[in-house]
């Protein structure tokens, strides 16, 4: 895997997915450079690597970090949809302008491959099921718009300059290492409330709201395959391909923990009560096979969190003045 590449830059390598990706690259004996604005503690898992504490919005620092890189994984981003609603300028500058900076640095460095980690949020409210890569893109929060802007920049650099970019669109990623203050994916949030004997706060409809939950190690597998095998200029959904309703997720949590859950339904906020599930046929063509079923992933995560983990503190906001969960 990745035999053609020795020196690899990972932007956002101190983040949730980034840390898992960096660990996998180190196991492959790669020379890893990490650029992250919040690199706290990463030096403990990056022996012999290079850590650049800088913001992706700093174009000069990005160029310096990319020098000598043969492959770039671009994960640095604001990944919180609520923050994008509350502070759209920060979101756009980080996700869109930050991606432009990485593309310019990649072009300057003459990299052989750039993998841009986008988001399923670019699709907006689904018009079909399951969602393939040809589905229309019409995001309804600034986060989705900024990630789509990054995609368009990637494709423009591919067409105009021949920069070998590939785009990955992860769906609902969960697993150990998520930040409870910013992550809004339901698996970790629901587990944290449940393990603390608190009511699980369900935004929207328990049955109509369905998601494609994908374990973080499967996402890392997908990113490595995309970097290694995907043709330049293409887009790939990254998910499990399995549909799970919020009710089914809670039932899995109950089965794993051996006790009934308390539930607080927030029925008045239904902006995201829709079916969001990936068609992963394109990714399977690269040899991708999801390995961690949801029940096993929940079991692993519950073991990692232990009793009384930190509670989620972020709230879901889709539009100005709207508020869903009760903040801790």
* CA gap 7, 165 in Å, rounded: 17
Q: Which residues are catalytic?
A: 143
Would you say residue 183 lies in a domain?
no
Would you say residue 286 lies in a domain?
no
- Quote the number of domains for the chain: 1
pLDDT at 314: 86
Q: Which of 14, 39, 32 is nearest to 71 (CA)?
A: 32
Q: Which of 122, 94, 119, 120 is nearest to 35 (CA)?
A: 94
pLDDT at 147: 98
pLDDT at 48: 60
Would you say residue 75 lies in a domain?
yes
Q: CATH number, domain at 219? A: 3.40.50.720
Would you say residue 50 lies in a domain?
yes
How open is the CA angle 165-171-177, to the nearest 5 degrees?
Answer: 95
Residue pLDDT tens, the chain, 328 long: 899 999 999 999 999 999 999 999 999 999 999 999 986 666 665 666 789 999 999 999 999 999 999 999 999 999 999 999 999 999 999 999 999 999 999 999 999 999 999 999 999 999 999 999 999 999 999 999 999 999 999 999 999 999 999 999 999 999 999 999 999 999 999 999 999 999 999 999 999 999 999 999 999 999 999 999 999 999 999 999 999 999 999 999 999 999 999 999 999 999 999 999 999 999 999 999 999 999 999 999 999 999 999 999 989 999 998 889 986 6
Strand partners, 166: 115
Would you say residue 125 lies in a domain?
yes
* pTM across the whole model: 0.96
Q: What are phi and psi of 250, to 5 degrees?
A: -65, -40
**Residue partners of 207: CB distance under 8 A and separation at least 6:** 245, 246, 247
**Long-range CB contact pairs, 29-34, < 8 A, 24+:** 30/2, 30/5, 30/6, 31/6, 31/7, 32/8, 33/7, 33/8, 33/9, 33/65, 33/69, 34/9, 34/10
* CA gap 139, 157 in Å, rounded: 22
Q: Which of 211, 210, 205, 201 is nearest to 323 (CA)?
A: 201
Would you say residue 285 lies in a domain?
no
Residue range(s) defining the domain that contains residue 29: 7-172+213-238
Q: Are 152 and 146 in contact (CB under 8 A)?
A: no
Would you say residue 107 lies in a domain?
yes
pLDDT at 44: 61
The torsion angle over the Cα atoms of residues 153, 226, 213 and 126, rounded to 10 degrees, is: 40
Would you say residue 134 lies in a domain?
yes
């Amino acid at each position: 895997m990745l035999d053609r590449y020795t020196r690899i830059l990972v932007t956002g390598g101190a983040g949730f997915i980034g840390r898992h990706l960096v660990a996998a690259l180190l196991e492959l004996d790669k020379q890893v450079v990490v650029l992250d604005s919040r690199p706290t503690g990463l030096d403990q898992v990056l022996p012999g690597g290079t850590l650049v504490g800088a913001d992706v919005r700093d174009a000069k620092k990005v160029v310096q970090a990319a020098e000598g890189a043969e492959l770039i994984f671009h994960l640095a981003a604001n990944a919180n949809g609520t923050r994008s609603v509350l502070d759209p300028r920060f979101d756009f500058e980080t996700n869109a302008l930050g991606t432009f900076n990485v593309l310019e640095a990649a072009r300057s460095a003459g990299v052989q491959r750039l993998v841009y980690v986008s988001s399923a949020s670019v699709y907006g409210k689904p018009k079909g099921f399951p969602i393939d890569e040809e589905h229309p893109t019409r995001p309804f929060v600034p986060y989705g718009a900024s990630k789509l802007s990054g995609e368009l920049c990637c494709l423009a650099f591919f067409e105009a300059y021949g920069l070998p970019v590939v785009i990955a669109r992860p769906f609902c990623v969960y697993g150990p290492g998520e930040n409870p203050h910013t992550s809004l994916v339901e698996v970790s949030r629901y587990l944290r409330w449940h393990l603390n004997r608190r009511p699980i706060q369900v935004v929207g409809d328990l049955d109509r709201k369905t998601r494609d939950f994908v374990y973080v190690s499967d996402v890392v597998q997908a990113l490595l395959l995309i970097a290694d095998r995907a043709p330049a200029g293409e887009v790939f959904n990254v998910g499990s391909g399995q549909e799970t309703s919020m009710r089914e997720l809670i039932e899995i949590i109950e089965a794993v923990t051996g006790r009934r859950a308390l539930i607080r339904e927030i029925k008045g906020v239904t902006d995201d009560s829709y079916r969001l599930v990936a068609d992963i046929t394109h990714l399977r063509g690269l040899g991708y096979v999801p390995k961690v079923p949801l029940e096993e992933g929940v079991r692993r995560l519950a073991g990692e969190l232990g009793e009384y983990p930190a509670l989620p503190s972020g709230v879901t906001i889709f539009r100005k003045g709207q508020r869903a969960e009760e903040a801790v």
